[in-house]
Amino acid sequence: MVKRKLPKIEIFLIVFILFIALLFLTFYIWYQAELIRIGLENQRIQEQINQLEEDIKRLEVLRSSLLSPERVEKIAREYLNLTEPDPGQIIYEELFTGFKK
Amino acid sequence: MKNQNSKQLPKRNLIVTIGLVLWFLLILGRLVELQVFKHAQLKNEAIDQNRYLREIWPTRGTIRDCQGKILAQSLSVPSLFLARGKNEENSSLLEKITALKSLIPLSSREWQRIRNRIDNGDRFIWIKRKISWEDCEKVKQAKIPGIFVQMESKRFYPLGAHLAHVLGGVDIDDRGLSGVEYKYNNFLQGKKGRILILRDALHRKYDLEVIEPAQPGQDLILTIDSNIQYIAERELEKAIFENQACWGTVIVSRPSTGEILAMASYPDYDPNNFATAEPSALINRAIQENFEPGSAFKLILAAAALELKPDIFHRTYDCSIGYFSIGGLSIRDHRRFNLLSFPEVFIHSSNVGAIQVALEIGRDYLYSWIKKFGLGEKTGIDLPGEETGILRPPNSWTVHTLPYLAIGYEISVTAIQLLQVINAIANQGLLFPPRILKSLEGPEGIQKLPSSPPVRILSSYVAREITDNILAKVVDLGTGKAAAIDGFPPAGKTGTAQKYDPWLKTYSSSRHRSIFIGFAPFDKPAISIVVVIDEPKAGRYYGGEVAAPVFREIGRRVLLYLGEIPRFKPEKITLASSENWRNHHQP
């Protein structure tokens, strides 16, 4: 049996094809990994957005609760010692410009 | 030796070749089995492993008042559930729940429910829904296997019991059960969507594919102003306690549109704890309570009489005897009068005079006017469970019905019906149906709801006559003096009704209902108010003594809040400030 010596060009072609195949394979794996990584990042950001939106809602509810007229009146009366004027006494200065003669 | 070896070699080669071929065939057969015969099943299994099809629950719409203040909003909260492992014994599940019991409060009822579900062999069991974030954190840290957290939506009412009856409440699944939550549930709840979640080997989400987008619920903007609502609720509660009354209701509206600015009902409840509210507290007394209106009904009688006979205005009625007898029935005045003119009959709320007017116009005519004002049928307010009131047809009336009707008995109305009546007078004869919803807000923007077209039920002349010469004078000279508002002259009518005692089968002399209906300022009404206080027990019971002061206080504060300009400059001007408080209260 006589061993045939491969010509250099054939070796080069085989190595080149193998290299290209490896390159494609590497690229494909990298692409898949990157896709998943970006997907995960996207999900993380989306969850963060959802969480922040939820926090905004929660704060809006809290603000509404803190600004409830009952609470405001309680603070006005108990902490600021404000009191209501006697009946018949108008307390809004802005109105005085529009009195009927 | 060489020959023997050369013979053995092909044989060995053959065995190895056959082995390799068999091995190859085995692999090929397995591949065919997996790729061809079990293809569909395995594909589904693979999809199940990394893909999850989930329903997306839409966010329930927010409810706001006319100023945009949040009245009800849904927020995400954690819920705990137990998932049974493969072939997991009941005892193991019970151990987990016992461990959990030391972390979060579980009532004996909840414990029993979980036990029953475990005994039934259920694979998915809710442990506790909509728990606090603190409790959730405790459970997460305990890392009990088989116990998971799922996010759900919970309704929050930041103002607590404020406006409870209008808002209503929701069940554990956020479905409306009463109030606008129930009435507009379809708008609020939105539409469920579907989403495909792709996960990696570590079960981390890396891609979402929306198959059917969820449509969030629309936001409701109510005609209610939470500041006016607060004023109404506070004054109502004060009146209830001062008069030791059973229940009460106040409605404040803008007569020119029929928009309800406030609707208070006492007793109330906290919609955040709807499930535990007392059944009697759930009743919205403004629309769900029928009662006899007493003298407040005389307003309709006056309108009907003036429409039929405009010259009746100049007639006088002899009320000097102090009582009216018909068919063995004797109806008395609250005090002795002499000759009263037509307006004076109503200004002083004379029963004897009113009965004479009613007999003069007749039952069929009065009945037709009662119907015109919408009594005996729903006003159509956009709240569930509205009562119609009780109005019997004339063919079932007895000899006593007409005189009784003239003074507001043998007919039942709701507070919202009385509001509709007073609004028709305030609007110079035009009736605007009352409404609660102002607009809807969704992804497409704000959708304003047009108010229903007004219906003329009364001539503007008669409405003006009643306003200027009767209702305004009720407050100036008559039974409603306590309703007078400094700077904003109101018009209104008092009502006091004895309550019917079903045991004694007669009207009680110790149980009353006090009513005041009116609007202010009388010449250009900005607001109309109905006040009903049931069974005041602190000595006073007349509408002019119990309900009229509530009208005055609410009217005064609401008109100033709305920026209405007083009709005259008050003598004293005091600024509310801590400085003034110190000057007044410190020696």
Two tokens at B163? 């406006």
Residues of A in contact with B550 (CB under 8 A): none
Per the prediction, chain B carries an average pLDDT of 88
pLDDT given at position A101: 36
pLDDT mean over B24-45: 85
Residues of A in contact with B200 (CB under 8 A): 36, 40
pLDDT mean over B192-198: 83
Interface of B with A in 58-77 (CB under 8 A): 69-71, 73, 75-76
Cβ pair A82:B573 closer than 8 A? no
Catalytic residue among B265, B295, B349, B528: B295
Two tokens at B56? 């997306």
Does residue B444 sit in the same domain as residue B463? yes
Reply yes or no on whether the pLDDT at B54 is more than 90. no
pLDDT given at position A98: 47
pLDDT band, residue B5 (cuts 50/70/90): low
With respect to residue B48, please indicate whether it lies within any of the assigned structural domains.
no
Lowest mean pLDDT across A81-90, B255-264, B272-281, B516-525: A81-90
Does residue B230 sit in the same domain as residue B213? no
Reply yes or no on whether the pLDDT at B119 is more than 50. yes
Note if B6 is an active site residue: no
Does residue B407 sit in the same domain as residue B353? yes
Two tokens at A66? 């803190």
A54, A85, A100 ranked by CB distance to B76: nearest:
A54
B159, B577, B580 ranked by CB distance to A68: nearest:
B159
Lowest mean pLDDT across B101-115, B202-216, B408-422: B202-216
Tell me the nearest-neighbour CA distance from B101 into chain A, angstroms: 28
Domain CATH code at residue B518: 3.40.710.10
Contact in structure between B225 and B526 (CB atoms under 8 Å): no
Does residue B63 sit in the same domain as residue B96? yes
Cβ pair B576:A85 closer than 8 A? yes
With respect to residue B46, please indicate whether it lies within any of the assigned structural domains.
no
With respect to residue B285, please indicate whether it lies within any of the assigned structural domains.
yes
Domain CATH code at residue B62: 3.90.1310.10
Interface residues from chain A to B (CB-CB < 8 Å): 35-36, 39-40, 42-43, 46, 54, 57-58, 60-65, 67-70, 73, 80-96, 98-100
Reply yes or no on whether the pLDDT at B205 is more than 80. no
pLDDT band, residue B394 (cuts 50/70/90): very high
The ipTM of this complex is: 0.74
pLDDT given at position B447: 80
Does residue B312 sit in the same domain as residue B203? no
**Is residue A60 classed exposed, middle or buried when 0-12, 13-18 and 19+ CB atoms within 10 A define those classes?**
middle
Cβ pair A95:B563 closer than 8 A? yes
pLDDT mean over B260-273: 95
How many domains, chain B?
2
pLDDT given at position B261: 97
Cβ pair B76:A65 closer than 8 A? no
Amino acid occupying residue B531: V
With respect to residue B335, please indicate whether it lies within any of the assigned structural domains.
yes
Cβ pair A85:B563 closer than 8 A? no
pLDDT digits (tens, 9 = 90+) for B336-352: 888 899 999 999 999 99
Does residue B156 sit in the same domain as residue B249? no
pLDDT given at position B144: 87
pLDDT given at position B575: 47
Does residue B275 sit in the same domain as residue B195? no
Does residue B234 sit in the same domain as residue B105? no
What residue ranges of chain A have pLDDT lower than 50? 92, 94-101
Contact in structure between B225 and B69 (CB atoms under 8 Å): no
Cβ pair A40:B200 closer than 8 A? yes
Tell me the nearest-neighbour CA distance from B226 into chain A, angstroms: 8
> What are the sequence ranges of the domains in chain A?
8-81
What distances in angstroms separate CA B518 from CA A94, B24, B194, B557, one per listed residue?
Answer: 27, 98, 53, 15
Which residue range(s) make up the domain with B89? 54-113+147-222
Does residue B183 sit in the same domain as residue B254? no
**Would you give the DSSP letter of residue A78?**
H
Does residue B518 sit in the same domain as residue B458? yes
Question: B60 Cβ partners below 8 Å, 6+ apart?
Answer: B74, B153, B155, B170, B174, B188, B189, B190, B217
Reply yes or no on whether the pLDDT at B213 is more than 90. no
CB pairs under 8 A between A and B: 118
Helical H segments across B72-198, by residue range: 90-101, 108-119, 133-142, 164-167, 179-183, 185-189
Does residue B237 sit in the same domain as residue B170? no
Cβ pair A92:B230 closer than 8 A? no
Does residue B384 sit in the same domain as residue B295? yes
Two tokens at B457? 């039920």
pLDDT band, residue B192 (cuts 50/70/90): confident
Two tokens at B26? 């085995």
Tell me the nearest-neighbour CA distance from A32 into chain B, angstroms: 11
Contact in structure between B584 and B577 (CB atoms under 8 Å): no
Return the higher-pLDDT residue of B145 and B223. B223
